[in-house]
Each structure stands twice: as C-alpha cells, then as structure tokens.
Amino acid sequence: MTQMFLLGDDCLTVSMEPNENKHSIAEHLRATKCWSEVVVGKQDITVQYDPIILPPDAALNQLEEQLSHYVIVDSALGEIIEIPVSLSAENAPDLLHVAAQIELPANKVWDHLASRTFTIDMLGFTPGFAYMTGVPEDWTIERLSNPRQSVPAGSIGILTGQCGLYALEGPGGWPIIGRALIPLFDGEATQSPLLYNANDRIRFAPDGRDHD
Amino acid sequence: MIEVIRAGAQMTLQGAALTGYRHLGFPACGAADPLSMALANHLVGQGATNTALEISYGSVSIKFRSPAQFAIVGATADLSLNSAPVFPNETLCAEAGDVLTIGPATAGARLYLAVNGMLEADNYLGTSSTYLPARLGGYQGRRLQNGDCIGFKLDRSVPCQTLPNDLGLTYSTSFALRATDGPDLKCADRALMYGESFQVSRRANRMGVGLLGKYPTNANSKSKPSAAVFPGTLQVPPGLEGFLLLADAQTTGGYPHLLQVNRSDRHLLGQLKPGDRVQFLRRTPEQAAKDLISKQNHISQYVPDFKL
C-alpha cells in the first residue's frame, strides 16, 4: 500500500512498503518531466515541484495519476557492471583490519567478494556514493572509530551487511578495502555522470586476478 | 584579471545550482544566497547565475589587475576602493591596480562580488559552482587563497545602476524564516518549534548551520529510515543541536525532519552566521505557495531571470 503526503512547501512523499520496484517507479516519475527532483529513500520516494507552476493540491493529483499509470516492468534488476579493483596497500588501507574482524586471511576476503554480485540499493550521502547489498551476512564489520576527512575517489568501503562505492573524493567512515581502477564519475558526461544507476548490479574484478 | 590579496575565512567561485541530480547524491551546490548573487550579477549586466565570488564573513582584499565593472551585494560590511569608501548595491568601476577592501561582515554572512564579464572557472554537470568536499568546479575545486588570480573576459560596459531600496536587503542578527511542518513534527510540538528563538552555533558552513535551542523531547530519540532531505530541511540528530541544511548538504538523511524552510525564504539561509537568532513562522503549503508567488513577482520585475 502506498500513502502520499505533502513534505514542506514544495515536495511530496510517497511512502511504501519495502518495494523492489521503487527505482523503476522513480524512473517512471522522472520520465514525466513534471518534477525537478525524484529521490528514492529507504521506504519512500520524494518528488520536488515548483509551487508557482503547480499548486500543492494539483501536485498531489498529478502524482496520484502518474502512479496509477505505472506499469510494473519485467526486469526489476539493472545492468551488470564489472569494476576492476586495486588492492594495493595504499588503495586498501583497512583490508587487514577488516580481515582480522571477520577472522579470515586477507587474501580470502576478496575471494569471497569477487565471487559475488552486489546490487545498488541506494545512491546518496555524498555525490554518487552507492550503497550495495550482497556482503556475506555473517561478516560483522564496524565503522572506523575515526572517520577520514577525505577518502579518494573510487574507494570501496565495507560494513556489516553492505558495501559502498565512493564515486568522488570526500569524507568517509567506512573501512576501505580496495579502489576502483576506472573512474566512477564523469563531470563532462551529457547523460548520467555516474558509471552506474540505482538498482544496477556490480561485480568486482580484483587487479591481477582472473575473473570467472 | 583579479588577484586575491587576502582571502579571508572562505572565498569561493559560485554559479548555478544543480537540478535533477539529487537521486544520484549530488547536492544543490551554487550560491548559499542565490538572490544576492543574482542581484550583484544584474548590476553588472550579467545573468543571475553568472560565476561570481562568494565571500564568507568579509575581511578580504582583492586587486583588479585590469579595468572592471563590478558590484557587491549581500552581508553588511565596510567597503573601500583604494581607501576611499564605496557602497554595495550599485555598479562600481575599477582601474587596473585598484585594491578593493571588504571589512568584516557585521550583519549577514556572505557577500557576492560580480564582475561584468566571464570569470574563468572549472565546470562540471554544467555549473561552475565550487563543491569543496569533492574538489569540483570553481578555482581548482578549492577555496581561493592569497595570491590566486582569476582571469575574466570583460564584456561591453553597462550603464551604472543602483538596486531599488526594497531589494538591497539590510540584514540584522535575527532572522524570521517562513517554514512548513516537517514529516516528523507532531502537532503538539508546533507551539514549541514556532515559539522558540534558536541560535546559530559555531558549526556553520555551506552544508548547513547548527541551531541551538529547545527541541521537543523525544524528537531526537530515534533515527528513521533514510529519506530525502533538501536545503531548508531542519534535522535534529541526537543531542541539543538541530542542523538546518544549506546548498551543499547531503541528499538523504535519517534524523527526524521537524521543519522545512520555505522556498520563498531559503535564500536567507546563506546569510546566517554563528550567534544569529532564528525564529520560524508557520505556514501551510497553500500559504507558502502564495508567499512564494508574491515574492517571486516582486523580484522578477527587476531580475527577470532569477527564480527563487
């Protein structure tokens, strides 16, 4: 069931039960060109509108109508993107520390990760930061006790239950276990500036290893 | 070319805001007070989002190494050109070698210096705005430092003008901001949130400003699933301090969202500085739309290309 409400003076939120189609619903809303922003949260989608063009009650009606026209698409899953990863000490400063927390030899951590497919659940926190599911469920990994002021672009972080991609340089508190060898952000791009979208699936290919 | 002699607390190049990238995690970026920047640009014949200097808290000096027409709009500060006083809110002229000195901001936080020409800046996603955390845009993605030089192409000169009195805002150290209820504000807590006089904490930057004051009990006791936040969102993390989001703020957050400063008044957020007082005035979304239309119509008469 979905429920809609006004958020502040220029946004509307549709709250929903955990929904595997939320990114495709958001894409449908974006395609209407009616909203200046369409942002997916954990359990909702928020759209922003210009109240000068569209008064609040008209915006609610529009949104309701657009949602009623949404047709569930066959493939809820996005593209598969392979990202080559550097595991050098400089690019994976916390790999040993993480290996110790999950009681695995350091060289086995990436054996596990490279055999898995991760799904981008959400983008946000910082530009292009991708929250991904797919980390082995029995791995318990804490945040860094001292977050870094700056993490290099391309860094791959990991926590209990999720891993993250830092598309751009920025502050970060996740232990860093590798770094993408290809740029994740292109500021000159005419289409999407990121290598990936929400819902895409990611496979990692650690440098110097064969990937099956 | 202009040369930074004294960069002050924070001076950056800013231009247009980003629209349509929040779902990828990109903040709005752009001027913290886009109205003041648009007015400064207008005085030198430029578009509302032409690249300009954003000067936080004043206390800077700048040397014009070539002739320029320029204008300053925003926070209150003493201005002088080669030691002779000059004034904000009007078109000014400089010769090569002239030094502009801006004193400390005494009311408001940010001044905008626009020149009649195109300042050289890095671009990404179609904007020149500096986004400091990722070192994007502006001058090598960073704040300006003493000795930095910014080139510009001088445009054909424009007639000198002065802002109408009702547009050249004079700030004080207390702000009344029109706002609507956020999704996590309980009806019973309205009186408290709209009655309290909050104070801007020392934590104030382009991401947002901390607001000290009395918050509803239990408002901050739990976090919720991450949801969209925007400039103007007042979030209350655990502790005594709420955080009011500005242009460079993140796109999602999991703290209780108590109020949303309305679009009509968001330009004022860029003028809040530590110690200032803030009170919120409650509006319904319908009232907020009327406020917005009336303010937009007023500004559009003078700056047709600026949108709140």
Per-residue pLDDT of chain B (308 residues; tens, 9 = 90+): 999 999 999 999 999 999 999 999 999 999 999 999 999 999 999 999 999 999 999 999 999 999 999 999 999 999 999 999 999 999 999 999 999 999 999 999 999 999 999 999 999 999 999 999 889 999 999 999 999 999 998 889 999 999 998 888 889 999 999 999 999 999 999 999 999 999 999 999 999 999 999 998 766 555 678 899 999 999 998 777 899 999 999 998 888 999 999 999 999 999 999 999 999 999 999 999 999 999 999 999 999 999 99
Chain B 112-141, residues with CB within 8 Å of chain A CB atoms: 123-125, 131, 133-136
Chain A 19-58, residues with CB within 8 Å of chain B CB atoms: 26, 30, 36-44, 46, 48, 50-52, 55-57
Mutation to test the B interface, candidates A6, A9, A52, A168, most B Cβ within 10 Å: A9
The residue of chain B nearest to residue A26, with distances taken between CA atoms, is B23
Residue B93's DSSP bridge partners are: B69
Residues 6+ apart with CB under 8 A from A164: A129, A130, A131, A132, A156, A157, A158, A174
Residues of A in contact with B16 (CB under 8 A): none
Contact A198, B23 (CB under 8 A): yes
Residue B4's DSSP bridge partners are: B62
Residues of A in contact with B263 (CB under 8 A): 9-10, 51
Alpha carbon of B179: minimum distance to chain A alpha carbons (Å): 8
Residues of A in contact with B27 (CB under 8 A): 127
Q: How far is CA B27 from CA A27, A59, A122, B20, B134, in A?
A: 19, 23, 15, 10, 11
Contact B108, B271 (CB under 8 A): yes
Cα separation, B147 vs B262, in Å, equals 39
Chain A 88-127, residues with CB within 8 Å of chain B CB atoms: 122-127
- If one counts every other C-beta atom within 10 angstroms of the C-beta of residue A74, the result is 7
Tokens at residue A119, please?
């799904």
- If one counts every other C-beta atom within 10 angstroms of the C-beta of residue B79, the result is 19
Could B124 and A188 be called an inter-chain contact, meaning their C-beta atoms sit closer than 8 Å?
yes
Q: Collapsing DSSP states into helix, strand and coil, what is residue A147? A: coil
Q: Collapsing DSSP states into helix, strand and coil, what is residue A168? A: coil
Could B285 and A5 be called an inter-chain contact, meaning their C-beta atoms sit closer than 8 Å?
no
B232 touches chain A (CB under 8 A): yes
Residues of B in contact with A5 (CB under 8 A): 183
B207 touches chain A (CB under 8 A): no
pLDDT in tens, A153-199: 999 999 999 999 999 998 888 999 999 999 999 988 877 899 999 88
Please, which pLDDT band fits residue A76 given cuts at 50, 70 and 90? Answer: low
